[in-house]
Amino acid sequence: MYKTLASVLKEAEELDYTVGAFNAHNLEMVPSMIEAARDSGSPIIIQTSVSTARYVGMSNFVAVCKSMSDKEAVDVVLHLDHARDLTDIKDAIDAGYSSVMFDGSLLPFKENIAKTKRVIEYAHGHGVSVEAEIGTIGGTEEGFTVKEGQYTDPKDAIEFVKECDVDALAVGIGTHHGQFQSKTKLNFPLLEEIHADIDKPLVVHGGTGVNEDDYHRLTENGIRKFNVGTELLVAWTRTAQEYFGKTEVNNSLRNNIMPCNKAVHDIIAHKIDLFMNKKSPISAVTE
């Protein structure tokens, strides 16, 4: 079924697992992403940046996710990631996205609260979930760079959720967007403190740079949404380079794109196995 973020995270909390949120970098990879979740018996969060959503068309993403969630008997959330412009958020909600993230983490604290409240009012009024962020995630994503991430202040997080009835809260615990050639050292004492104080599902961004050995500890400390984007992009692009580099010019495009989508499918299936607390084969992380 086509679900909201709040509904799938509620089940994850009750059953004690983490839901994978995977960035779609084009429309072609979406069916393979959803099929990976179906095969694993897990819900999936398909998320898009604003620029990708504009490129493909928000209504096109909605149509594919809705139709496949019904046909394949899998719970699918379509989430707009790191939106900073309220117009983008409104357009996504009006197009049929079931979840949005307002990223006001770079704003003054009170302005972040005020704008997040406006997003919640509109989104919840249309049955759409809202994720927000306190603290910042370093690195580069979709051309937007934050040179240095900032850890989440637990006191700010407490005040924020008192003021804003968000459905999920992204926290800064040391991760970085775009990191795939090395692994980050997470600040688990900080996460444990935030989890003890905040009764909301917590979110990790920059998940490609997280060591897979840390996944279970993240789940134990309230992480219910785990974002993976760069790893999928790298795998798709490397596979595309291999196949397009040796193809005949009159070879059907699908013969080159299908292996790219298969690479994405396999990474997602592997990640879901870990998020659902199952034993999993050797890591499929691209180095």
**Does position 150 have pLDDT exceeding 60, yes or no?**
yes
Q: Parallel, antiparallel, or unpaired: how do β-strands 144-146 and 138-141 relate?
A: antiparallel
Residue span of the structural domain in which 252 resides = 5-275
Average pLDDT over residues 110-134: 97
Give 272's contacts (C-beta < 8 A, 6+ positions apart). 20, 36, 37, 40, 42, 44
Domain-embedded: residue 67 = yes
For the domain that residue 220 is a member of, what is the CATH number? 3.20.20.70
Q: What pLDDT does residue 185 have?
A: 80
Does residue 83 form part of some domain? yes
Domain membership of residue 176 (yes or no) is yes
- pTM as predicted: 0.89
- Please calculate the CA angle 274-280-282 and round it to the nearest 5 degrees: 115
CA 285/CA 207 separation, integer angstroms: 11
Residue 19 CA: distances (Å) to CA of 9, 77, 105, 156, 194: 7, 10, 23, 25, 19
Q: Is residue 281 part of a domain?
A: no
- From residue 95, give the alpha-carbon distance in Å to each of 60, 87, 123: 9, 12, 12
Q: Which of 16, 39, 81, 153 is catalytic?
A: 81
DSSP per residue, 252-287: -HHHHHHHHHHHHHHHHHHHHHHHTT----S-----
Give the whole-number percent of the chain exceeding pLDDT 90.
75
Residue 44 lies in a domain: yes
pLDDT of residue 278: 55
Phi-psi region of 93 (alpha: psi -120 to 50; beta: other; left: phi over 0): alpha
Identity (one letter) of the amino acid at 144? F
Query: Is residue 283 one of the residues assigned to a domain?
Result: no
Residue 69 lies in a domain: yes
Residue 63 included in any domain: yes
Q: How far is CA 248 from CA 210, 238, 245, 252, 258, in A?
A: 38, 18, 9, 9, 16
Tens-place pLDDT, residues 156-169 = 999 999 999 999 99
Q: Residue 204 is encoded by which pair of tokens?
A: 């990790």
* CA–CA distance, 210 with 212 (Å, rounded to integer): 6
**Does residue 23 surpass a pLDDT of 90?**
yes
> What is the count of structural domains for the chain?
1
Give the per-residue pLDDT at 120.
Answer: 98
Confidence at 136, pLDDT banded by 50, 70, 90? low
The secondary structure of residue 129, as a DSSP letter, is: E
Structure tokens, 64: 């594919």
- C-alpha span between 59 and 23 (Å, rounded): 17
81 has catalytic annotation: yes
Q: What mean pLDDT do residues 189-218 have?
A: 91
